[in-house]
Chains A and B, each alone.
Chain A
Amino acid sequence: MVRETLPVMETEWFQPFTEQPIALLSEEGEWIGDFPLDLDETLLRQLYRDMLAVRLMDERFTVLLRTGKISFTAPMAGHEAAQVGVAHALRRGHDWAFPYYRDYGLALALGVPLVEIFGQMIGTRADPNKGRQMPCHPSSRPLNIFAAASTVASHIPPATGAALSMKIQGTGQVAVCTFGDGATSEGDWYAAINFAAVQRVPAVFVCENNRYAISVPYSCQTATRTIAEKAHAFGIPGYHVDGMDVLASYYVSREAIERARAGHGPSLVELVVYRYGAHSSADDDSRYRPREEVELWRQRDPLVRYQRFLARHGLWSEEWERQLREEIAREQAEAIEAAERAGEVPAEWMFDDVYAEPLWHLERQRALLRAELQ
């Protein structure tokens, strides 16, 4: 196995362990970065389109839930800038993403077809994962999106392993692993990042810190002021970032990803966000969060802030917004229809993919079910 010679990073714009979260946009949408913005208009607009699509998709999920088409949803509203920023920072289809269950925004921005997303949510044949998981579990082999698991933090050691394989094989890829603030209390989180740091693997660990693990607030989760400073324990940089600023999410993630790609090892990126909705459709957040707090964060909405930025640069208009909303609504409605049209997952698929080849005990059970259904 050959290890490819990797370039040294030329520019590092961001300092780790800042007191204040790194932001590149003011609340009014002014660029406050101290380096030149180097993104073209197409990408600047795409970031907005993706965020809007995530917001509208989140609303769709709630509608599907209320109409009884899905059993569960994990609201993403408030996380759009973080997820879309990270997704655009990695090389789509080349780098690997290790998402958690609130990351359909990440999956959408990475290019998972809507019909696959809704197919997975509803559990139809349109789901390349064959209806095996409850809603909100992204997975796509062609896009290198590792199948999400419900068990908090369990995907983080595999991210380290994939990154170690990338290093050993010299593929020039990076593994980007996302998780919530609750995950940082799991032993697997520590074990995985520690191993990644020791081996200097090309990985970036991204915390979407929305301040709550279901009902447990940040103050009951950890005594550290930030998640980013936990990186000190691993000997890697930790970046404390305003995750409701899509450009900050994008640029910091991009720098961390390219550092990793260049052989400088992993980083921890904390994107401070807020979950507008409850933890999931099975949760009632009014029992633990004052409405005023939710309202306060909603006023810092990532879409509104970024819209102001685009407007300042003549990249947003009410007409464009109206068109986008129509387009996205139509695409999503069509995708839901196509996902449903694909039909139910056959009962016998239950027995496939447990192993590469069928084992006798499973084949007997398949026959038993077949007989029962006839």
Chain B
Amino acid sequence: MATLTMVQAIARTLAEEMSRDERVVVLGEDVGKRGGVFLATEGLLERFGPDRVIDTPLSEAAIIGAAVGMAAHGLRPVAEIQFADYIFPGFDQLATQAAKLRYRSGGQFTAPMVVRMPSGGGVRGGHHHSQSPEAHFAHTAGLKVVVVSTPYDAKGLLKAAIRDDDPVVFLEPKRLYRATREEVPDDDYVVPIGKAAVRREGTDLTIIGYGTSMPEVLKAGDELAKAGISAEILDLRSLVPWDIEAVMRSVAKTGRVVLVADAPRLSGVLGEIAATIAEELFDQMLAPPVRVAGFDTPYPYAQDKLYLPTVTRILNAAKQVLEY
């Protein structure tokens, strides 16, 4: 058992998976000698060589597209996009090729690949180093979408993603890469895609969050507890598929729900979950679902910390559903 940051857990997991299965290869910009700009691929080139740790030209389309071909031909590529904000030149490859290959070939060809990307704000990166573009991926049939928030989950879900037979977009909140350390078991465990985690049990309201915003969500839970309010906190972890059972079980129990994420509010994943809750549990709800999301502006530079859902904003939303 080692105490690791999230980015260390990712680097170790990549090494473990590459040792376990020689079909697993890593490709991306600066993933070789540099070990990735966040060091998520540190030490892999030295250990596995340039055939399996491939520094690519500076082209996201080439990275994702090549990963599709490698996967179709029998490898298990793990592509790194340096920042999630840079996915757009590669988005066509993700949406047109990776997501639809199994479907359009009637299951003859598949693209078992992982696209890892550091996402989210809170690092004063301005709008091209801070976005959370998960809604684009969640809206593209054929992709699975995972957003981790802890070192333990990063390991277990990355293993699940690499072993999955479909393309998985694996979002890593860069703000959390080194925010905390956690004991990460050495054994070969997998956290299944599609399962939420209950981070805190409670009875008065449910707060559903994921990714970058989880520290604020947990802090809000602590504040509420101090005020004698029992919040149940779910970390979704997977957005496609999302854990409808865990969500409905919790909201059916509490009757009140606040949904929190840093991605823009308009057409976001939270809206989909809120709408499903309303469709299924309308008669058991004590208040309408309330979202706390990123604002629908491009991600700002100067107001970096204000853009992200703050504890105050989450507590206000909690108040709104509790006092409805």
A and B interact physically: yes
Is A217 close to B, CB under 8 A? no
Is A43 close to B, CB under 8 A? no
What range describes how many residues of A lie at the interface?
Answer: 35 or more
What range describes how many residues of B lie at the interface?
Answer: 35 or more
Is A32 close to B, CB under 8 A? no
- Given A139-B104, A149-B104, A354–B93 Cβ distance below 8 Å? no
Instruction: Looking at the assembled complex, report how far the CB atom of A135 sits from the nearest CB atom of chain B, in whole angstroms.
Output: 13
- Given A195-B57, A360-B244, A164–B66 Cβ distance below 8 Å? yes
Contacts of A154 in B (CB 8 A): 65, 92-93, 96-97
| Contact call B66/A195, Cβ cutoff below 8 A | yes
Q: How far does the alpha carbon of A141 sit from the alpha carbon of B89 in the complex, in Å? A: 28
Q: How far does the alpha carbon of A3 sit from the alpha carbon of B141 in the complex, in Å? A: 37
Is A156 close to B, CB under 8 A? yes
Contacts of A132 in B (CB 8 A): 103-106
Closest chain A residue to B166, Cβ basis: A355
Interface string of B189-216 (1 = CB under 8 A from A): 0000010000000000000000000000
- Of B37-45, B68-76, B154-162, the one touching chain A: B68-76
Indicate which residue in B65, B142, B244 contacts A161 across the interface (CB closer than 8 Å). Answer: B65
Is B265 close to A, CB under 8 A? no
Is A314 close to B, CB under 8 A? no
- Of B107-115, B116-124, B176-184, B253-261, the one touching chain A: B107-115
Contacts of A187 in B (CB 8 A): 61, 89
Q: How far does the alpha carbon of A30 sit from the alpha carbon of B45 in the complex, in Å? A: 55
Instruction: Looking at the assembled complex, report how far the CB atom of A371 sits from the nearest CB atom of chain B, in whole angstroms.
Output: 16
- Of A52-60, A165-173, A249-257, A326-334, the one touching chain B: A165-173
Is A129 close to B, CB under 8 A? yes
Contacts of A141 in B (CB 8 A): 105, 108-109
Q: How far does the alpha carbon of A104 sit from the alpha carbon of B104 in the complex, in Å? A: 16
Indicate which residue in A157, A166, A352, A359 contacts B65 across the interface (CB closer than 8 Å). Answer: A157
Is B241 close to A, CB under 8 A? yes
Contacts of B144 in A (CB 8 A): 355
Instruction: Looking at the assembled complex, report how far the CB atom of A356 sits from the nearest CB atom of chain B, in whole angstroms.
Output: 4
Contacts of A352 in B (CB 8 A): 107
A-B contacts, 18 listed (Cβ < 8 Å): A128-B108, A139-B105, A146-B109, A151-B92, A154-B65, A156-B65, A157-B93, A158-B93, A159-B69, A161-B65, A161-B71, A164-B66, A165-B70, A165-B74, A168-B51, A175-B69, A353-B107, A354-B141
Given A164-B66, A165-B75, A352-B107, 9 more contacts at CB 8 Å?
A129-B104, A130-B106, A139-B109, A146-B109, A154-B65, A157-B97, A188-B65, A195-B56, A356-B102
Q: Which residues of B contact A (CB under 8 A)?
A: 22, 25, 51-52, 54, 56-57, 59, 61-62, 64-75, 77, 89, 92-93, 96-97, 100-110, 141-142, 144, 164-166, 194, 240-241, 244
